[in-house]
Structure 1
Amino acid sequence: MLSMAGRRVLVQSVTSAIPTYTMQSILFPDYVCAAIDRLNRNFLWGSDVANRPHLVNWHSVCLPRTQGGLGIRSAKDNNRALIAKLGWQLLSNPEKPWCRAFIQKYLQHGSFMSCNINSTSSVTWKSILRCRDVLRLGLRWRVGSGEKIRFWQDAWVSDRPLLDAALLPVLEDQIDIPVSHVINPDRTWDFQVLKQLLPKLVVEQISALPLPSFGHQEDGMYWAGSHTGVFSVKIAFHLLQNQSINIHTHSRNWSWIWKLHCVEKIKMFMWLLWRGRLFTNSLSFELHFASSPLCPRCEQDQETPLHLLRDCYYSRLVWEFTPLPANFFNLDFDGWLYQNATSTSSTGESRQLWSMLFLALLWYI
């Protein structure tokens, strides 16, 4: 029978990968994405067994491992990130045959970022337009001529559009004006106009942007967070995830778990421990799976992770046969788990040996 670590690998490499080909050209309905996630979620937690609880919510599971998740991609966000790549190619490589066909058919009298969705358009085109908001998360502009960049709606000064900083409501007929409207013929910024539209701080940011000497130089675009400046599906997916990330979870250190010198199933065990979601009697009682939160071995205290692994009388018997570091029984749970698993109080070879022994005993207790 596969361990949870083995099931995670299968979800990432097989069940999540199967629909990827179709996801690259069609935006799946929400109920289809939900069904894919449900299949992956049930398989990950072993829900073929009756009443098996899902100990960590799916959104948290889909976060990167450095942010407290398992790096599994949710179907909806993965689908949207893949479709957004088509939008990037339309903007960056308009000479590609398929891009030219779409531009000729749908963009004769408008720009890609502002055109409306037509009910008679193809499924693929409607999918691309519905994922423009993903592009806006990471698309940035460098000013050349200023003809292609929308002054109010594109991110060309910071990671936010200037529309958010406007001093007055922007009129509908002004919403799509290009940046070139605030550039003088001598290739300087028109500060007289800018000061009427934007706060002083934003005007100062614009003044720091260099303008090329020649007005015929094209505007450049790049993808934020990418070393090459080229669109990345991985970065787009992470940007979508970060929109609703839990700040407390994100602030914790998770990287150390995946750097431990142990097998993957123990790393998964440590991940559950660090999340406080080990299925002890205390958690089982909280979820209405057990009639009592007490430890079934000593029947003295609630079976919390710390009691189960360290403070229970029978667990103490195991630890007392090992060369324990100082303050072993006095630390709080997080400090105890982290310091001993990483052996921060030891050095050299003894550090790794104690870490391996500690992890092995945790697993077998």
Structure 2
Amino acid sequence: MGIRDLRKQNNSLLMKWLLRYNEEGQALWKDVIRSKYGEYNPWCSNVSVDAYGVGVWNTIRNLRQKLEANTYIEVGDGRRTKFWTDAWNKQIPLKESFPDLFLLCSNPDANINECWTAQGWDLIFRRFLNDWEVERVAKLLELLEKFSGITNAPDSLR
């Protein structure tokens, strides 16, 4: 086994900690990480800016981009997934696909369960929309047609 294989195996083992960070709700080690670094979003901690004593978690946290490139968010109850800023529905974040609508939304940090009702999507904007903006909302809703609704299961990474 060469050095390249060892590094690849080591990265895979470290990446498992990122997956565990997402799956384990109230684990003590996760509470320690969260209290020390803060939470960037429900899926990941903040990046550490300290120069001393944080090498292991920095190494793990730096693998986040590789993990995101190979996973997607599976929406369950919609409580952990941000409607505009998270990459869910197997695509890029909606704020990148529809930046004009993102600027108009009344709550850019809204979770999916706040935007979804039994009748469908309930998107709230800060002002009345112009004609061309209504067309953009129609395109957004067309893109979201595949969404079947929220469930009782928690959101997860796949």
TM-score, scaled to structure 1: 0.33
Measure the CA separation in 1 of the matches of 2:26 and 2:47. 22
Q: Which residue is 1:254 aligned to?
A: none
Instruction: Give 1:112-191 correspondences, 5 Å limit.
Output: 112-113=43-44, 115-119=46-50, 122-168=54-100, 170=102, 176-184=109-117, 186=118, 188-190=120-122
Q: Report the alpha carbon displacement of residue 136 of structure 1 after superposing the two structures with TM.
A: 1.0
* Cα gap change, 1:97 to 1:81, in 2 (>3 Å): same
Measure the CA separation in 2 of the matches of 1:181 and 1:197. 23
* Cα gap change, 1:119 to 1:140, in 2 (>3 Å): same
* Cα gap change, 1:84 to 1:148, in 2 (>3 Å): same
* Cα gap change, 1:78 to 1:161, in 2 (>3 Å): farther
Measure the CA separation in 1 of the matches of 2:66 and 2:44. 11
Instruction: Give 1:280-299 correspondences, 5 Å limit.
Output: none
* Cα gap change, 1:137 to 1:90, in 2 (>3 Å): same
* Cα gap change, 1:150 to 1:198, in 2 (>3 Å): farther
Measure the CA separation in 2 of the matches of 1:197 and 1:165. 14
Q: Report the alpha carbon displacement of residue 133 of structure 1 after superposing the two structures with TM.
A: 0.7
Unmatched 5+ stretches in structure 2: 126-132
Measure the CA separation in 2 of the matches of 1:80 and 1:198. 41
The answer on 1:102 being equivalent to 2:33 is: yes
| Cα shift readout 1:37-56 (whole Å, capped 9, x = no counterpart) | 4xxxxxxxxxxxxxxxxxxx
Q: Report the alpha carbon displacement of residue 78 of structure 1 after superposing the two structures with TM.
A: 4.5
Unmatched 5+ stretches in structure 1: 1-10, 17-35, 38-72, 224-365
The structure in which a higher percent of residues are strand is: 2
Measure the CA separation in 2 of the matches of 1:203 and 1:80. 39
Instruction: Give 1:201-216 correspondences, 5 Å limit.
Output: 201-212=139-150
Measure the CA separation in 1 of the matches of 2:16 and 2:122. 35
Confirm or deny: 8 A CA contact 2:34 2:45 kept in the other structure. Answer: no
1:152 partner SS? coil
Confirm or deny: 8 A CA contact 1:150 1:177 kept in the other structure. Answer: yes
Instruction: Give 1:66-77 correspondences, 5 Å limit.
Output: 73=5, 75=7, 77=8
Counterpart of 1:90 (choices 3, 7, 21) is 21
1:168 partner SS? helix
Specify the structure having the higher radius of gyration (Cα). 1
* Cα gap change, 1:156 to 1:108, in 2 (>3 Å): closer
Instruction: Give 1:1-365 correspondences, 5 Å limit.
Output: 11=1, 16=2, 36-37=3-4, 73=5, 75=7, 77-107=8-38, 111-113=42-44, 115-119=46-50, 122-168=54-100, 170=102, 176-184=109-117, 186=118, 188-190=120-122, 200-212=138-150, 217-223=152-158
Confirm or deny: 8 A CA contact 2:82 2:111 kept in the other structure. Answer: yes
CA RMSD of aligned residues (A): 3.6
* Cα gap change, 1:85 to 1:159, in 2 (>3 Å): farther
| Cα shift readout 1:265-287 (whole Å, capped 9, x = no counterpart) | xxxxxxxxxxxxxxxxxxxxxxx
Q: Report the alpha carbon displacement of residue 88 of structure 1 after superposing the two structures with TM.
A: 0.8
Q: Counterpart of 1:205 in structure 2: which amino acid? A: L
Confirm or deny: 8 A CA contact 1:94 1:100 kept in the other structure. Answer: no
* Cα gap change, 1:147 to 1:187, in 2 (>3 Å): farther
- List 4+ stretches of structure 1 deviating above 6 A: none
Structure with larger RCO (C-alpha < 8 A, sep 6+): 2
Q: Counterpart of 2:61 in structure 1: which amino acid? A: L
Work out the percentage of aligned pairs sharing the same amino acid.
18
